[in-house]
Amino acid sequence: MIPIEGRVPTRLALANGLGSVAYGVKDNGFATFLLLFYNQVLGMDARLVSLALLIALVFDGLIDPVVGHFSDNTRTRWGRRLPFLYLAPIPLALAWAFLWSPIGDPSFGMLLVSAILVRALVAMCEVPSAALIPEITRDYDERTRLTRFRFMFSWGGGLLMLLLAYGVFLPNAMLAREGYRNFGLFGAALMALCVLISAISQHRWVKGMPPERTGQGKGAIASLAEIRESFSHPACLIVMGGIAAALTAQGITFALSNYLYLYVWKFTTTALQVFPFLLFGSVIGASLLVGKAQFRWGKAGTVMRMAPLGMVFWAGPLLLRWQGFWPEDGTTASIGIMFACTFLSNTFTVTGTMTLWSMVADVVEASEEQTGRRSEGTLAAGAFLASKCAGGLGVFITGLLLSFAGLEANTPPDAVLPEVTYRLSIAYCASIALLAVLTALIVRKFPIDRATHEARLARLDQVARVDPDATGLHP
């Protein structure tokens, strides 16, 4: 497709964003409920559950570059990405439903295979969809705008499932197996429907036989060499490192969230039902903040500021609670202040992660300048590889934190000793503080800013005018 000049039509931006609902549903389920479900409901050891999810995520992350590279080299009359978006959603829905309705007694092997299958199918939906952003527009700011829509739909899908979990499927029974089965069935239908509608709505803009790529049809070894070459660009390595650090912290936070709500903050049923609205409000706040922050500080500067700020408001309430400066757990004052801190923390954190994903699109032309190839799918897959490995590491670390704290399986909230929640809180705060600092240190080395990006586009355009068949500066 030919990149759109100027502002991308809102209906196209919405259509592209809608496809990320499936990713949000999956991410919320894996990060928030899956460990709790298999550990506290099905009775599996938290360390085994965490290990299975870590292995599955790393294994699945290796699939992402293959999916991305394959979509870069796909040539059909519907374009490169649409075939994936039409074929993957139904199998994904079936696999997701099975994950939450395991047959017989749960086992490490069954969980591992189910998790790998779900994440691989999500990759077939999400990687091609995200790869469309740098194809749709080359504009530095419009890429952030499209990324905002993807974040809002992704978070919206995940928070819708969170709202339904707390208000419909698990309103008074967080540890009820039947509620998780219904949670899985509804999520399966939602994922399939949103991906298919997204594909249909984008069809007329992104369809069409793509130009043949130089060296298309190479063997597996040559393809692996191309993937490695795309990933080797310094900007790619930096943004992957930033995503890995930021999303490891997010993975720990999400995986521990229900434990903290139940065992530390003692949220009421009403608080749990209102909480998703608060989180979605923070995502809207981030979408309003990100453009202004990016204009003032650039993309790298925005991430460097947002990651530490988000961490401060996650850890702050726990620090104040240790020092005795916090209202009694479960009271209206405690929950109200916690809501305010969560809103600010999530606003800053999402602003940073939005910006990181927008930075991935800007790496496309930098890689093209180096390799002579546009590798939107491969580079998007690299970001997903980093995020999935980070998510798995976050869940794995959470299992270690729970073991360190001494929280046993099937323990009612009222039976948890204060020293257990104290150890859990200390370990959590230390972990996310370290990762926030690491994120800022990595991203400060990112070599692409607005001026650099626009200068690179001008050079590539000049090459294209001289040689219309050229795709980069180094064929």
> pLDDT tens-digit profile of 103-142?
878 889 999 999 999 989 999 999 999 989 998 999 999 9
Q: How confident is the model at residue 92 (pLDDT cuts 50, 70, 90)?
A: very high
DSSP conformational letter for 7: S
pLDDT at residue number 1: 58
Say which range, 49-58, 176-185, 349-358, has the weakest mean pLDDT. Answer: 49-58
Say which range, 9-18, 103-112, 329-338, 406-415, has the weakest mean pLDDT. Answer: 406-415
Q: How far apart are CA 204 and CA 89, in angstroms?
A: 20
- Cα angle 147-372-216, degrees, rounded to a multiple of 5: 95
Q: How far apart are CA 150 and CA 156, in angstroms?
A: 10
Count CA atoms within 13 Å of residue 400 on its CB side. 12
Look-up: residue for tokens 């859990």? 424
Burial 419-455 (b: 16+ CB within 10 A, else e): ebbebbbbbbbebbbebbebbbebbeebebeeebbee
Mean pLDDT of the chain: 86
Amino acid at 235: A
Q: How far apart are CA 107 and CA 318, in angstroms?
A: 35
pLDDT at 267 exceeding the cut of 60: yes
* Average pLDDT of the residues in 178-201: 95
Written out in words, the top-level CATH class of the domain with range 15-206+226-460 is mainly alpha
Cα dihedral sign for 70, 75, 81, 87? negative
Contact between residue 430 and residue 322 where contact means Cβ atoms under 8 Å apart = no
Domain ranges of the chain: 15-206+226-460
pLDDT at residue number 372: 81
pTM reported for the whole predicted model:
0.78
Q: Which of 268, 253, 359 has its CA nearest to residue 314?
A: 253
User: 221 burial class (0-12, 13-18, 19+ CB within 10 angstroms)?
Assistant: exposed
Q: How far apart are CA 342 and CA 146, in angstroms?
A: 25
